[in-house]
């Protein structure tokens, strides 16, 4: 079994380290780590340290001996999913599964046909939930580099992002539309891939026009139509396999 990951602000390079606070409490009281067990301390930015537990102190303090360092380089090509806001808690589900799969960045998108609206305090709370979900899913999947969850973007801002990508795509559910299969698309070996996942009601013609002007083409995943909360995960898995990042 792989060693559990705990998040620290500054990754130690050697010696002993005291893991306390919320992460220490989770290690001692939830994971119940004891002397001799292994763990990884990570900053979520690609840096980590391997360690062995020396002792547990109380309910929220763990003394760790650092045994080695780890570095997870920024992957290439970088995969960003622009995720239209789903209903209810499906947004957190999308972020969780995309993170576990290996996405590098998630951009919340307030699409025209989204039922959910991120405004004011509600928007701030929702963004915080997405970011917390990415952090926890990153830990669970033993990642050293957690995906960035950006501020919510408008359609115009998404268009500007797509214009900077080496490969830009919009998942489209219409089988009769002029769209190719993502499984057959020519992908870059380096640079960035940006993928747009629309809301349950689909991407509007006006939005498609903005994205097309930015260089994004419509693509389909397969014969079945996926929910907006699962399409990004399926597409990310496909891209990771096709670009060799899963090899």
Half-sphere exposure of 210 (CA within 13 A, CB side): 16
Convert the pLDDT of each residue in 57-76 to its tens digit: 989 999 999 999 999 999 99
The 10 Å CB-count burial string (b at 16+, else e) for 86-105 is beeebbbbbbbbbbbbbbbb
Other Cβ atoms within 10 Å of 222 Cβ, number: 11
Q: How far is CA 199 from CA 11, 69, 226, 230, in A?
A: 39, 42, 11, 11
Structural domains in the chain plus CATH codes: 5-71 (2.40.240.20), 78-242 (3.40.1280.10)
Q: Report the mean per-residue pLDDT for the chain.
A: 94
pLDDT band for position 172 (50/70/90)?
A: confident
Contact, 245 vs 104, CB < 8 A? no
Convert the pLDDT of each residue in 100-117 to its tens digit: 999 999 999 999 999 988
Percentage above 90 pLDDT, the chain: 88
Question: Does pTM top 0.85 for this prediction?
Answer: yes
């Amino acid at each position: 079994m792989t060693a559990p990951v705990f998040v620290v602000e500054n990754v130690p390079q050697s010696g002993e380290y005291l893991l306390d606070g919320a992460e220490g409490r989770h290690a001692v009281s939830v994971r119940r780590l004891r002397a001799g067990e292994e763990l990884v301390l990570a900053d979520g930015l690609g840096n980590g340290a391997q360690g062995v537990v020396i002792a547990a102190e109380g309910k929220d303090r763990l003394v760790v001996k650092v045994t080695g360092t780890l570095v997870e380089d920024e992957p290439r090509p970088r995969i960003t999913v622009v995720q239209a806001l789903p209903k209810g808690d499906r947004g957190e589900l999308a972020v969780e599964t995309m993170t576990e799969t290996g996405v590098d960045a998630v951009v919340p998108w307030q699409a025209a046909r989204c039922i959910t609206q991120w405004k004011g305090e509600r928007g701030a709370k929702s963004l915080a939930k997405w970011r917390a979900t990415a952090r926890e899913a990153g830990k669970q999947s033993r990642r050293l580099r957690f995906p960035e969850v950006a501020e919510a973007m408008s359609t115009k801002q998404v268009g500007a992002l797509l214009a900077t990508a080496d490969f830009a795509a919009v998942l489209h559910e219409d089988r009769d539309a002029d769209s190719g299969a993502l499984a057959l698309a020519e992908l870059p070996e380096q640079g960035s891939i940006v993928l747009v996942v629309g809301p349950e009601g689909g991407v509007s013609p006006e939005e498609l026009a903005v994205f097309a002007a930015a260089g994004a083409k419509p693509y389909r995943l397969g014969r079945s139509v996926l929910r907006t909360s699962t399409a990004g995960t399926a597409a990310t898995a496909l891209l990771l396999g096709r670009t060799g990042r899963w090899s």
